[in-house]
Structure 1
Amino acid sequence: MKFSYVNPTLIQFGQEQIASLTDLIAKDQKVLVVYGGGSIKKNGVYDQVAAALEGFDWVEFSGVGANPTIEVLDQAVKICKEQDIDFVLGVGGGSVIDGVKYIAASAVYDGEGWDIPTGKHTITSALPIGAILTLPATGSESNQNSVVSKEATKQKLPFASPEVLPKFAIMDPDVMKTLPQRQLVNGLVDAWVHTCEQYLTFPETALVQEGYAEALLRTLKTLGDNFENQDDAWRANLMWAANQALNGLIGSGVSQDWATHMIGHELTAAYGVDHARSLAIVQPSLLRNQFAVKKAKLEQMGKNVFGLEQSDDLAEKTIEAIEAFYHSLDVATVLTEHGDDKAAAIDNIIGKLEAHGMLALGENQAITLKESREILEQAVA
């Protein structure tokens, strides 16, 4: 085991923490507040942010949707450049915070912002950013990852840089009280798959990372099983579990997969499938396709997460348990929203994977376009 780990993001966790924003940004910095469709004006979050920023020089930018597009984000980049913005504050879920990372990096780059996710430009600096989380799911509030889309070409690409790590993340579980149930389900599933991507590979000697990942999965399973019984503790545990699932800790020094995400991104870009639900569609079929190399870890997960007994078919029972977990949350594990032509849909996704260089995915780089096609044959109805 060998790794380097640092996560400098300050976490302000708990009820009424938005007020702490006042002390987290220098008074002489001009702030751009970025948010989504306006729900924060209905649930009181906007008013709390405005109160905390009293006396600051700040402007706002709204309209960042799910799977944020550069067509929208570039408008905020323009504001940053024209108005000499010093600090970018994202108020929202993972999509808003991912978008803020793109905005902050693009604002100090003279070229086209899309150069960042395509890899044509390596981020060397960015405006400082902060996050006020309103939807737990991606862990973007304290990691260096972002995923943005280009509507014109139906592309969805990730990028990562320590330069876009938020300086702070304010996490108040009370903001979850007004969230649609579908979004809470998505957040839970997203956190589950994030954990699996760093765990469901092969047995590791990193016992801390292994044990922590299993604890997170058991926690998320418990939250899913008690989805109808949401209280303050339920919301707090989901918000914290989703953060811990992708803050870099459980993936340190261990193999990681991420093929489910790469294929899922293409489903979202092509057919508008919710990000989390694209993962639930891909994952079971991928696990069966890679059954031989993942069998030992599936058996470990079956025993340590689902409490299953050792048996000859334990690995398959674990996959079935994962599917049953998704189904209990009314989350589908096959794609149906693709039109009437399954073959054409699969060809479309394979073409996108090829165009984006996704030719050797997974912890062993063993998922070539051939395997991706086999996975989609099972995942697409």
Structure 2
Amino acid sequence: MTQSTTQGRAVAPIPYGRQSISEQDVSAVCSVLLSDFLTQGPKVPAFEQIVAEYCGARHAVAVNSATSALHIACLALGLGPGETLWTSPTTFVASANCALYCGASVDFVDIDPRTYNMSVNALEAKLVQARQSGCLPKVVVPVHLCGQPCEMQAIHTLSREYGFRIIEDASHAIGAKYQGEPLGNCRYSDITVFSFHPVKIITTGEGGMALTNDPELARLMECFRTHGITGNKAEMQPRPADEIWNYQQIRLGCNYRMTDIQAALGLSQMTRLDEFIEKRRQIAARYDTAFADLPVTTPWQHPDTCSSYHLYPIRIRQGDSPKSQRQVYDAFHSAEVNVNLHYIPVYRQPYYEAMGFAAGYCPEAEQYHKETISLPMYPSLSIEQQNSIIQTVMESIIP
């Protein structure tokens, strides 16, 4: 493994995120490989059940990615051409792309400068204008950035006044809590989506899940993930008695199924979810203390929330710090500490600029992008690695 040297100390490359795989995880996956079912077997429903029970939701639908979960969530809510989805600009592109997959339009609501989540004030102001112009959204997708829940009760209150549906993009946030309850219980939303990508809180390799308390939405999402096919006789159209029809395609769906191999890994990872969250919170607390006197802004936590700390972003305050974001970013990579950016505003991506979006549309999101760097954050981050990260922050910011 290559090493770099910073101020006389050797530092092995440190990724910004990394999966934690145990012997128990390996054994769980191997047991499926030796079983009769590699896919469409018993592990997927078992994984769905354990996640639903952990979060306090009635139904869970496992799929091959959170992107797929967002897509089938939009399909289940009936989003389509001539309708609009609103989301945060400070997110991965999948939070917005899911609307385009349905033929709908996308718009963006600026972020709160403290939580970096969708601003409730900006949302309300935009809704007032949209009502006057007759273009209210059908769906709003709040994104629980970095693992900190959005102000869901306030967003839900607005949904009742303005008539939109809510999909929580909780890709960063399994294990987080809002108002003392597990995120994913859908108390203030129609559907909640989780991601199980390797850098997320738990992993299935690739994978995602949509949770809901509505049995009809669950039924629709289950159908959409499997080509739009059903084997439920109550849903099937009559056919001649002498013909065998043990399944029918009743709508246009996708092949978004999760395999039993992935679900077995997810089941094993769920046994350590609370341990993972606690370790992340300990690392975040150590970062908070180490950076308290530096000219950077560390993640502020809303009193109603308990973050899962998928990410730990620091803001290099322009005017306060002697170094720019670019200088700090380059210093980290020179030291082989692989920090990242989460995120470039979605509407600044070339694909979205071609739709007519331009710089200046969401000022808070753009300022966040210009100042923020995500530090490495994952449970297996050793004390030695944490020390290297902390020292690199200090050396890169203080001349």
Q: Normalising by structure 2, what TM-score?
A: 0.33
Q: Normalising by structure 1, what TM-score?
A: 0.34
More helix by share: 1
Q: Which has the larger radius of gyration?
A: 2
